[in-house]
Amino acid sequence: MSERRDLQAQFERILSEHGAAISRLAFGYETVASVREELVQDIALAIWQALAHFRGDCSERTFVYRIAHNRGLSHVWKRRPPHQPLEEMEESDQPIDPRPHPEEQAAQTNQRARLMSAIQSLPVAHRQMIVLMLEGLSHAQVAEVLGITENNVAVRLNRARNMLKDALGERP
């Protein structure tokens, strides 16, 4: 009984610490807010199911990201939504920015929406790479999450980054 209580405490701590990251990762896989909320819950549920078997052979962060990406991947298969163009991005998806100037706020929201739209237009493998890079994972951690070598991470990352620039229209 106390083992379960410990597990639940650990789970709640993981959700508090990594909840925002899980939501961001879900953003990479789903554009519709209500479905994304479901996906976030699915990821959390998968973490709960796997937590009892977590023996600390990788960092907790890597563990969470692995599960989140794997769930995201199965979600892409289940949903297979067409890439949502920028103009269809929901206003409600964007958190309210506390900046005082409405024009600045609008510009920032627009940039964010562009970035999101560009990420979502990438192939799944590149998308994962970009998302992990934006989350600030080291090459070693990315390699651990994706199951590839560190050298491979560097090559893929460069390619994914160029693709993102293309999608954003930032490359000549």
136 φ/ψ sector (left φ>0, alpha ψ -120 to 50, else beta): left
Q: Is 59 in the site for other proteins (CB under 8 A)?
A: no
How many binding residues for other proteins (CB under 8 A)?
A: 59
Q: Is 60 in the site for other proteins (CB under 8 A)?
A: no
Q: What residue type is 169 in one-letter code?
A: G
DSSP code at position 122: S
Six-digit token string for 25:
């990762």
Q: Is 49 in the site for other proteins (CB under 8 A)?
A: yes
Six-digit token string for 170:
């930032």
| Closest alpha carbon to 120 in 38, 35, 32 | 32
Phi, psi of 22 (to 5 degrees): -60, -45
Q: Is 166 in the site for other proteins (CB under 8 A)?
A: no
Six-digit token string for 145:
């999450």
The footprint of other proteins on residues 113-142 (CB under 8 A) is 115-116, 123-126, 128, 133-136
Binder of other proteins out of 6, 9, 17, 37 (CB under 8 A): 37
Q: Is 16 in the site for other proteins (CB under 8 A)?
A: yes
**Can you give the binding site for other proteins, defined by CB under 8 A?**
12, 15-16, 19-20, 22-24, 26-27, 36-37, 40-41, 44-46, 48-50, 53-54, 63, 66-67, 69-71, 73-74, 77, 93, 95, 97, 108, 111-112, 115-116, 123-126, 128, 133-136, 144-148, 152, 156, 159, 161, 164, 170
